[in-house]
Amino acid sequence: MGSRPRSLLPVVVVDAEARKPVVLEATAEAEREGVHAGLSVPQALARCPELVVRHRSRQAEASLEELLFALAYSLSPRVERDGAGEVLVDLKGAKLEEALQRCGQIVAELSAMGICVGIGVAESCVVAALAAKSFDWAQDALAGRVLLVGGENRVTSTLLQKDKSPAERPIHYVGLAEFVEGLPIGDVPFGADPASRARLLDVLSKWGVRTVSAFAKLKRAAVGARLGVEGLRLWDRVTGKEQRVVAVAELPAEFEESWEFEYDVDSVDPLLFLLRRFLDTLCLRMRVAHKVAAFARVELGLAYGEPLVVEQKLPEATADEGALFSLLAARLEEVETDSPVARISLWLEVVDFKQRQLGLFESSLKNPYRFTQTLSRVAGIVGEDRVGRPVLEEDGRPDGVRMEELPAAVPPVGELDLGRMFGMPLRRYRPGLAASVEFQGRQPIWIQCETVSGFVKAVRGPWLNSGHWWEETGSWNCVEWDVELNKGGVYRICKDADGWKVEGNY
């Protein structure tokens, strides 16, 4: 006996959160083994020992529905969502060739993310939904499929590529009569009341009408006279005569993904795996909506204690998942938590995509994302407040600087004011050298520190400096002298709250 290929294993989906978990969905392979929806898990395993049981994830379903809706919005703004993993797009006024080509791109984009999708295109929304569901998992599970039902005369042969084998064609075509010929009438969604639906299907079965094509051949007046309003609604749906208004939904304004772990995690690998999946989904949605991310925030919900938030301002707004992942992964790898992580969420602040052209004498970093990634790694070691560009404070405090973010674009160098008068350059010691100073009267006559000592030959000063005295914290004051020693050398000495020190030499 040989093992089955992984793609052909019988698989079922169950809701583990239900009081009595039962089979919700089953693949064709599982149905061939006698497994169907409604069976309990032990009953299903008794019928098929090789059965693969997967738990339903409502978080993953919600994320996938948002992604499908965003991709459908790239076809037309008239999109309706039903909350069951399906979206309906009204293509009235759109060019069929361009729409089909975009459908093929959607299938390829989702396939690259490991998501298989079926797309049906038809003049009737019911036929299109049935075409999307007629997905052959055994044959199309790796790439998905776009099925066009009818309308071949409106599509060029180049798009259908009839010279290729069916497996290699991006768009599949089937005639309307051929598609509905053997389609069971029970597959058509209609009727809100399960009892009336079952009663109507039972009547049709007694009439010998079991397929959509057989039912569509009946006259509408006869169907209405014998089956009433429910029969007319079903006939209108299968024949495309239904006058249906698409309930247009708007794109969500938030670009956010989250995940709650079934078991708390204490390593970074699961976090990075989910972060990459989040970015793949969100970046695809951003590209469809012509948006780019300017700011990212990752929140780690801990099993004990307050959540840990990691924020990252992007050097340039982008929708590149690789660049975003490299920046955020560098930050998360340096994070240390006091307890395991129970939840992770990613939120992106998006802006409209705008191309910016640099000035004639303005240059940008070769790779701003890699540069920011390096800064993130450095910040994880030395601290956020120690990374950036030092800028002098305008309060006169010696070595008073603040740190600001490095710009992604380097501005042109301005003209130097060579006409200004500059004094002797002072080489500062950082930190200043602790010193001993002796005075005669009000002037220093002798200094000593670890590198220099001697009698003072000449002195200038004192200069009194202070600032921020009006604040409770952060106030400072110091007294400075410039001294020349008899052995040679000119130095600056000062006294502040920490005592005497030599600040530097000229």
Q: pLDDT tens digits for the chain (506 residues)?
A: 333 334 568 888 888 778 888 888 888 788 888 888 888 888 989 998 888 888 888 878 888 888 888 888 888 888 887 766 788 888 887 788 888 888 888 888 888 877 888 888 887 787 888 888 776 554 545 567 788 887 666 665 556 665 555 555 667 888 877 877 777 877 777 665 677 778 888 888 888 888 888 888 888 888 888 888 888 888 877 776 766 767 777 777 788 888 888 888 888 888 999 899 899 888 888 888 888 888 899 999 998 888 888 888 887 788 888 888 988 888 888 888 888 999 999 999 888 876 555 555 445 566 677 777 777 778 777 777 788 888 887 777 777 778 887 765 666 666 766 667 677 888 988 888 999 999 888 889 999 998 888 999 999 989 888 887 777 777 788 899 999 999 889 999 998 888 999 999 99
Q: Are 296 and 314 in contact (CB under 8 A)?
A: yes
The whole-number pLDDT of residue 77 equals: 80
| Tokens (6 digits) for 505 | 């030499």
The whole-number pLDDT of residue 190 equals: 66
The whole-number pLDDT of residue 291 equals: 85
What is the phi/psi pair of residue 308, to 5°? -105, 125
As a whole number of angstroms, the distance between CA 258 and CA 1 comes to 43
The whole-number pLDDT of residue 81 equals: 75
Q: What is the CATH number of domain 6-55?
A: 3.40.1170.60
> What's the per-residue H, E or C state across 81-105?
ECCCCCEEECCCCCCHHHHHHHHHH
3-state secondary structure of 191: coil
As a whole number of angstroms, the distance between CA 282 and CA 284 comes to 5
Nearest-CA neighbor of 109 among 224, 281, 254, 352?
281
Say which DSSP state 335 is in.
-
Name residue, tokens 């759109």: 94
As a whole number of angstroms, the distance between CA 380 and CA 252 comes to 34
- Going by C-beta distance under 8 Å and a sequence separation of 6 or more, which residues neighbour residue 79? 69, 72, 73, 87, 88, 89, 90, 246, 248, 249
What's the burial of 448, exposed, middle or buried (CB within 10 Å: 0-12/13-18/19+)?
Answer: middle
The whole-number pLDDT of residue 138 equals: 47
As a whole number of angstroms, the distance between CA 284 and CA 71 comes to 8
Distances (CA, A) of 97 to 50, 77, 153, 210, 423: 44, 17, 11, 34, 75
Q: Are 314 and 293 in contact (CB under 8 A)?
A: yes
Architecture in CATH for domain 255-356+365-377: 2-Layer Sandwich (3.30)
- Going by C-beta distance under 8 Å and a sequence separation of 6 or more, which residues neighbour residue 150? 122, 123, 127, 175, 176, 179
The whole-number pLDDT of residue 59 equals: 79
Say which DSSP state 166 is in.
G
The whole-number pLDDT of residue 1 equals: 33
